[in-house]
Structure 1
């Protein structure tokens, strides 16, 4: 029988494989940062609460895990003779789960055991230098020799990259000295944090606003709204995590 604590444990495992803490996963899903915190999983009587369907589906969208796959993984971990941790029906033995689930580009493409703690060097630049020409290819993926390398405490892979915040103008949302993990290819949604990049122009980080067309509300100037006109060499890259 599937219990709510099993749902939470499975969600935590999948998030860990992709380098997300509970708070980071909630923010990436456009939810309140405390949605998946352990303190909110237990009721007044000490019994585990079920996550809401909306929260679970939004988290699985970020993790790029179909609900049917999540259910199979959950059931396999709950019963004897079920699916081994990190392995799903039809997967070759020894293949890490993140390698076959079409994980969002750059998140969790390593071995699941301890992946989030291992990390490795990734491409990185100070925020103020993101306006240089030639930093991104036609798909918006980082390219060229101008990039530095930075050790990341999480297991991320290209085309994900890190941005070192070298200005105090975006505080308190992005503090000077912090690093933001940015993933091209994740479709931004309303209230997501994102970086707007335009070749040869200054970068802009802010909250995405929805509506008939996407726009961004800069952290440094929240009274402004920048409409996102479609065009070549214009990218909106989603911020999935911020670390000091």
Structure 2
């Protein structure tokens, strides 16, 4: 039976099968990223909202899903025992991948205070949003590090996790991780970089500026994301 709950559950399942959020699924299909948000599934008056046949067609095309498979998801079909076993084996033998979305909605802080840009759940909605690309793990050796010490307080605390991208170009003012030839690894702010030297600031005033000869530096990588 094509109930309201089952159709929306099928959309959630389709996103999960393709390792996407429903917002990313909508963007991939060329739709507004809020199209499938949970807040869009019922009206303010409590009336049920249904996804359009056009939006369903677009997400099936974007994920190469045929109508029979989508219908099976609506009916709550589960994988066969063989498929389930294969999935468990793949999960056990495949190393975890730190996944980031390709882009996220972008809005200025001043505009964010105006009405019409967020729904009741705090998700982006309406028009006027731009997009900013995020670094992708495919083709680039991004990785995570755990902050130690207090030199980056109050921005980064001891134990915070940061994502580092060696391939990103670094500029003045960027937060970076630097490794010296002696094996010291530090998270700092790039104050100045020349052919001969690199100057690094600490956000914590208790830690002085560091000036290193580039001949003593093994690499410099930009911090592109951090847990808080």
What TM-score range do you get, normalising by the shorter chain? 0.3 to 0.5
Structure showing greater relative contact order (alpha-carbon pairs closer than 8 Å, 6 or more residues apart): 1
Which structure has the larger Rg?
2
TM-score by length of 1: 0.38
TM-score where L is the length of structure 2 = 0.41
